[in-house]
Amino acid sequence: MSQSTKKWVVDDIANAALFDLTTNDPVAFFEKLKKMTITVDAKQQREYGGTSKFAFHLTEQDSESGVQIENAVMDYNQLVAATGASITTGSTSVPTQEKLTVLTGATVTLSRGASFVSGSEKILVATKGLANSGTQLSKVASAPTAQQYTISASGVVVLGDATLVGKDIRVFYDYTSATAETASVVTTTKNKPYKFVAYGKAFDDELNTYFDVTIIIYKTQMLGTFSIDLQRKSATTNTMDLAVLDAGRPDGKVIDIIAS
pLDDT in tens, 44-82: 999 999 899 999 999 999 888 888 888 777 777 778 877
Separation CA 147–CA 164 (nearest Å): 10
pLDDT digits 0-9 by tens, 19-50 = 999 999 998 888 878 788 888 888 899 999 98
Predicted local confidence at residue 13, as pLDDT = 65
Predicted local confidence at residue 11, as pLDDT = 65
* 9-46+58-85+185-259 placed in CATH 3.10.20.90: no
Predicted local confidence at residue 98, as pLDDT = 97
Predicted local confidence at residue 236, as pLDDT = 72
Taking Cα atoms as reference points, which of 113, 115, 159 lies closest to residue 137? 159
Please report which residue ranges of 34-141 form alpha helices under DSSP H.
76-83
pLDDT digits 0-9 by tens, 74-115 = 777 778 877 888 888 999 999 999 999 999 999 999 999 999
Taking Cα atoms as reference points, which of 32, 28, 26 lies closest to residue 12? 32
Output the furthest CA–CA distance in the chain (Å, rounded).
96
Q: How many other C-beta atoms lie within 10 A of the C-beta of residue 59?
A: 10
pLDDT digits 0-9 by tens, 199-222 = 888 777 777 788 888 889 999 988
Taking Cα atoms as reference points, which of 57, 31, 28, 29 lies closest to residue 44? 57
Locate CATH 2.30.110.20 in the chain. 9-46+58-85+185-259
Q: What is the pTM of this model?
A: 0.72
Across 36-45, 127-136, 204-213, 225-234, least confident range = 225-234
pLDDT digits 0-9 by tens, 145-194 = 999 999 999 999 999 999 999 999 999 999 999 999 998 888 888 888 99
